[in-house]
Every structure is written in structure tokens, then in C-alpha cells.
Amino acid sequence: MRRALLRLSLPLYIGQMAIVASGLIDTLMAGRLSTLDLAAVGVAASIQTTITMLAASLLMALPPLLAHHAGAADQAAMRRDMEQSLWWVFGLSLLAMLTLLHPAPWLALAQLRPALAAKVAAYLQASAIGVPAMLLLRVFMGLYAGLARTRPVMLVNLLYLAAKPALNSLCMKGLSMGAAGCALASSIDASLLCLGLIVWSRRQPELRALLPRALPPWPAAADVRRFLHLGLPIAMTFAADLSAFTLMALLIARLGTIAVAAHQIAANLVVLAFMWPMSLGQAATLLIGRALGERQPEQARRQARLAIQLALGCALAVSLGLALGAAPIAAFYSPDPQVQALARTLIHAVALYHLADALQVVAVSALRGYHHTLLPMLVYTVCLWGIGLGGGILLGLTPYLRAPMGAPGFWLAAMGSLYVVALLMLLDLARVARRAIRPGPL
């Protein structure tokens, strides 16, 4: 059982790290062009990621649905879900592309200088071209993940990473597009990979039977309701998490460049540490969904318990490393003594934050395997916005409880909110797993 969990999660982890590395390539190559291009990539990438990931988050319902049907050997239901997902890609692509092609509201919110605003707008418009391919890639990767074949997911992300430097160079320098070249390169990269994956999948007998041969039929109302029942809470949960973290960064920006730089270091470490428990959680979603489709709820509970145990063990090791290595890590990121001093404090906060982060993401992912998503959405929204963001404003910016703590106050509140989320999700997972073992519907 442990081997199955690791066999699925390791390729997912490598694929996630490839995505992180592709963003790093954009940053490094833009930095070599000019400070303005670097700033444009930083601002535009955060906007573009928010828009496309919010669109893609609804498609996160596909892997647990397909895993459940695969466990039940219901190929007809798998085909219906694949056909329906293509209609969702069409609608979500239109919305995301329109938003990226008309970025004026985002630029007004950011209040950028004209030269920077022009580069950000060009980046966002170039990224719109690749939205359909990026969402289709999500569908195909969801198909492979639902069938417990995560190595193709890893290979797609590694191929995307391998092609990125050459395409970046062609678009940024060869076409003289600057920062916008990063976005065009990503669009071309995703489109080529998507086309190749479609051709390759149609040559696999197991997959060809699940893919529509022509325009897919309009989904039945019952299928739409089932998809939304699972996917909409997942999307709202993701939106609550992403928006709370984004607003936290914007509020900390009021505290000056030292606070912003130190927060960026902490946020980068959180993302890097998060990749492994997230991959474990995604693997747990698939294994639990398959076990429930096979009508083995006891095995599903064991899979959930094992994923929690592995996440906790790894998180303890990572947190200890962060706590002991705070000083050299801060020095690696910045030579500025003031930034290093504040970053050390925030890295110690990240060490504690990561323990809760690892537990909550695995617990929430396991609950998705049980198709239980509504309560996590409510818990995330209340805790991350109320305790995390509200508490951060109270501790970090206002003198009502004590002297304003600045960036550490925001991280303290965020950490507290995440421990509440982790505790509630673990309790809910235990309840749902017990209930699944009893006769009768969930």
C-alpha cells in the first residue's frame, strides 16, 4: 500500500517541481533583459496564474471522478465525464481568454507605471493564446491520473520544462518581445504538447475508447450537477486559499521593501515545501477514489491514514531543516542584513506553518477522494479569510491588541488559521471514512 502511494506521488512531485522550475526560468531570463522586464514578468505571471488556475480548479473534479469509475470498471461513465470536461474547457477558456485580453481592471488595481503596465498587458494578451491548450492538458493529465498512470503527467511537465529555454529565447530575443515572449513561449509550448498528447492518446487502445471521436454530445443535466457538486466546492476552496495568500502579500507590501523581500523569501519556501505533501494528497485522492469504486471502504481509510502519516513524517523533517537552517537560507536569498534579519523570523514561522500545511492538504485531498468537498470549502473560506487574513490585519497593521507586528503578525495569523483548518479537516476525514464503512450511502 505504501509502495502504491509512493509510485503515484513521486511522478506527480517531479512534475510539480518542473512547473516551479519553468517559472524560475522565466524570472532568470527576464532578469537578464532588464529590470523592467523582470518586474513585468513578476506582476503579470501572478495575474495570469491566478486567472488560469481559477479556471483550471473546476477541472480538479475530473481525477477523483475517473478514479471512482475506474475502480467500478464503469467505462461508459468515464467517457461521459471526459466528454463533459471538454465542454467545460470550452466555456472556461472563453472566460479566461476574455479576462486576459482585457486586463485594464487588473492594471488599474495595481496602479503601475505606464511603461510597466504596457509590458504586463502584452504578457497577459500573449498568454491568452495558450489557455485552451493549458486547460486541455489539465483534462488529459486528469485522465491519466484517474487511471493511476501518473508517469505520463510527469513526462508532460518535464517536456514542457525542457522546451521552455529555447522557446523563451526565440520569443524574447528573436522576436524582440521581451517579457511578453515568456508568455508566448508558454502558449506555444503548451499547444505543441497538447497536440502531441492527443495524437499519442488516440493510439492507446485503453485511452482511445474514452476519447470522443467527434464533437462531444451536450452533457446531461444529471452529469452537470454531479460534476459541479464535486468541482465547484473544489474551485471555491482553491479560490479562498489563493486569494487570501495573494491579499496577504499585497497588504504586506504596504510595510516597505524590506518586509516585501522577506515575505517573498518565506512565500517561496512555503511553495517549495508544499509540493511534496500536495503530491501525496493527489495520489491519496486517486487511491481512495479507486478503492471506493471497488467497494473497499476499509482500504480507502487505510490509504488516507497512510498518506497522513507519510505527510506528517516528511513535514517534521522539512520543518526541522527550515528551523535549523534559517540563517544560511536567509543569507542565500539576500545579502541585505535587514532582509536577512526579518527573513529569519519568517522562516521560523514557515517551519511551524508547514506542519499544518502538509496535514491540511493531504486531509482535504483525501476528502476529495470521498467526493466530500462542501465542508472543506466553508472551513477554508471562514478560517483563511476570517482568522488568517482578518487576524493578520489585526496583528500586523493595527494597534488594537498590541503594537503592530508587521509581516510576522500576518504569518502568525496565517499559521493559526491553518492549524484550525488542519484540525477540522482531520476530524472530518475520520468521520467521513468511518461513515463510508457503514452500510448505506455517504
Residue 401: CB atoms within 10 A of its CB come to 11
Residue 133 CA from chain centroid, whole number? 17
Statement: residue 380 has pLDDT above 50: yes
Grid coordinates belonging to 166:
529555447
Q: Which of 109, 110, 95 is nearest to 54 (CA)?
A: 95
Range in 27-41, 83-97, 382-396 with the lowest mean pLDDT: 27-41
Average pLDDT over all residues of the chain: 85
Contact predicate 323/348, CB 8 Å? yes
The tens digit of pLDDT for each residue in 411-428 reads: 999 999 999 999 999 999
pTM: predicted TM-score of the whole model, two decimal places: 0.81
- The helix/strand/coil state of 112 is coil
Q: Which residue has the cell 462531444?
A: 216
Contact predicate 266/351, CB 8 Å? no
- What pLDDT, on the 0 to 100 scale, is given for residue 110? 62
How far apart (Å, rounded) are the C-alpha atoms in residues 270 and 435?
Answer: 34
Q: Which residue has the cell 482578518?
A: 390
Residues 166-184 have a mean pLDDT of: 90
Helix (H) or strand (E) holding 334: none
Contact predicate 307/433, CB 8 Å? no
- What pLDDT, on the 0 to 100 scale, is given for residue 111? 66
Statement: residue 432 has pLDDT above 90: yes
- What is the residue-wise DSSP string for 8-37? HHHHHHHHHHHHHHHHHHHHHHHHHH-HHH
Q: Which residue has the cell 483525501?
A: 366
Residues 369-387 have a mean pLDDT of: 90
Statement: residue 77 has pLDDT above 90: no
Give the chain's radius of gyration (CA, Å): 22
Statement: residue 364 has pLDDT above 70: yes
Contact predicate 65/144, CB 8 Å? no
The tens digit of pLDDT for each residue in 263-276 reads: 878 887 888 899 99
Grid coordinates belonging to 128:
491568452
Range in 21-25, 182-186, 270-274, 351-355 with the lowest mean pLDDT: 21-25
- What pLDDT, on the 0 to 100 scale, is given for residue 422? 95
Model confidence at 43, pLDDT cuts 50, 70, 90, reads confident
How far apart (Å, rounded) are the C-alpha atoms in residues 188 and 128?
Answer: 11
Residues 53-73 have a mean pLDDT of: 83
Query: Which ranges of 203-220 would DSSP assign to H, the alpha helix?
Result: 205-208
Q: Is the dihedral of CA 102, 106, 110, 111 positive or negative?
A: positive
The tens digit of pLDDT for each residue in 273-317 reads: 999 999 999 889 888 988 888 889 999 999 999 999 999 999 999
Contact predicate 13/277, CB 8 Å? no
How far apart (Å, rounded) are the C-alpha atoms in residues 123 and 121?
Answer: 5
Contact predicate 61/219, CB 8 Å? no
- What pLDDT, on the 0 to 100 scale, is given for residue 260? 73
The tens digit of pLDDT for each residue in 86-141 reads: 888 999 999 999 999 998 887 776 667 788 888 889 999 999 999 999 998 888 88
Residue 348 CA from chain centroid, whole number? 24
The tens digit of pLDDT for each residue in 193-218 reads: 888 888 888 887 777 777 776 677 78
Statement: residue 241 has pLDDT above 90: no
- What pLDDT, on the 0 to 100 scale, is given for residue 115? 84
More confident residue, 258 or 420: 420
More confident residue, 111 or 233: 233
- What pLDDT, on the 0 to 100 scale, is given for residue 441? 46
Statement: residue 257 has pLDDT above 60: yes
- What percent of the chain stands above pLDDT 90? 31
Q: Which residue has the cell 486517486?
A: 286
CA angle, 78 then 81 then 84, to 5°: 150
Residues 378-402 have a mean pLDDT of: 87
